[in-house]
Amino acid sequence: MKIRIGYELIYDCPQPTPMILALSVHYTRVADMVVPDHLVADPPVPIAAYRDSFGNWCSRIVAPRGLLKLSTDAVVRDTGLPDAVVAAARQTPVEELPDEALVFLLGSRYCETDRLSETAWQLFGNTPTGWGRVQAICDYVHQHIRFGYEYARSTKSAWETWYERTGVCRDYAHLAIALCRCMNIPARYCTGYLGDIGMPPPYGTMDFAGWFEAYLDGHWYTFDARNNIPRIGRVLIARGRDAADVAISSTFGPNILTRFEVRTDEVVDA
């Protein structure tokens, strides 16, 4: 199947403002791109690209004073299959983990393992290890949090989400990641496109989505505590320790985001 993806962001800057953008589809999906997701700036500005320490493609710009529109319109090929479920995947002992997975066991800006460790072991210490334990964490987070955009705030951490019992998709992911790490399971934050392909209506307002990956049995597997069912059509943009590593824009000066639109739809051939 093919999926059309894109976004339109409009920033209003009172002065020239440097920005770092994480908006490009992840390099692991490059071979799937039918129409590339080139970043278009209006008015045009110089764009410098680089790969960050997590392997994500990022762009550097200096937004001019006034309005700046950033957009893309792309098409990506997808298998059309739902997220994999590998119930037999075992938990890898910490001493056997590859070096590159260890950073995803540690606490981070939004995932306070120190504050949640005792709670995690009380809740999940007797659950089956491996896939079953990660799924038990997802089930708990899915039931524990009440979803609502009115509950979103940029400073909200996993512990605050657990305490307040409300949040948006990134909060579900942060809490699940923190609980996995407390249980010695490496977990990393993911952001990208996730539409409503294969889901019944009504459909909500489209946004960039947040989910996570857990390292089990030598592989990284996708989990989604917000939806808590296998979904079709994820298009990864970036991975990191938490949302701080994969912000769609990091701005170095005052600005207002006046428009935010994300699109992801199945392409239906005539």
pLDDT for 138-162, tens place per residue? 999 999 999 999 999 999 999 999 9
| Whether residue 255 has pLDDT greater than 60 | yes
> What are the residues whose beta carbons fall under 8 Å from the beta carbon of 238, sequence distance 6 or more?
22, 26, 54, 56, 190, 191, 192, 245, 246
Give the pLDDT score at 99: 97
Lowest mean pLDDT among 45-54, 199-208, 211-220, 260-269: 199-208
Topology of domain 94-245, per CATH?
A: C8orf32 fold (3.10.620)
Identify which of 193, 201, 212, 202 has the alpha carbon closest to the alpha carbon of residue 262: 193
Report pTM: 0.96
| pLDDT tens digits, 169-211 | 999 999 999 999 999 999 999 999 999 999 988 777 788 999 9
120 pLDDT band (50/70/90 cuts)?
Answer: very high
Give the pLDDT score at 204: 76
The two tokens of residue 264 are: 């992801």
261 pLDDT band (50/70/90 cuts)?
Answer: very high
8 A C-beta contact, residue 214 and residue 187: yes
DSSP collapsed to 3 states, the chain: CEEEEEEEEEEEECCCEEEEECCCCCHHHHHHEEECCCCEEECCCCCEEEECCCCCEEEEEEECCEEEEEEEEEEEECCCCECCCCCCCCCCCHHHCCHHHHHHHCCECCECHHHHHHHHHHHHCCCCCCHHHHHHHHHHHHHHCEECHHHCCCCCCHHHHHHHCEECHHHHHHHHHHHHHHCCCCEEEEEEECCCCCCCCCCCCCCCEEEEEEEECCEEEEECCCCCCCCECCEEEEEECCHHHCCCEEECCCCEEEEEEEEEEECCCC
Residue spans in the chain of domains classed CATH 3.10.620.30: 94-245
Percent of the chain past pLDDT 90, that is, above it, reads 96
34 pLDDT band (50/70/90 cuts)?
Answer: very high
The two tokens of residue 11 are: 């920033």
Quote the crossing angle between the two packed helices 131-144 and 113-124, to the nearest 10°.
Answer: 110
Q: If you average pLDDT over every residue of the chain, what do you get?
A: 96
| Whether residue 68 has pLDDT greater than 90 | yes
2-79+248-266 — its CATH code?
Answer: 2.60.40.2250
What is the distance between the alpha carbons of residues 42 and 233, in angstroms, rounded to a whole number? 29
Per the document, the length of the chain is 270
8 A C-beta contact, residue 195 and residue 211: no
Give the pLDDT score at 270: 56
Say what the alpha-carbon torsion angle 170, 171, 176, 180 is, to the nearest 10 degrees: 90
Residue spans in the chain of domains classed CATH 2.60.40.2250: 2-79+248-266
> What are the residues whose beta carbons fall under 8 Å from the beta carbon of 12, sequence distance 6 or more?
66, 67, 255, 256, 258
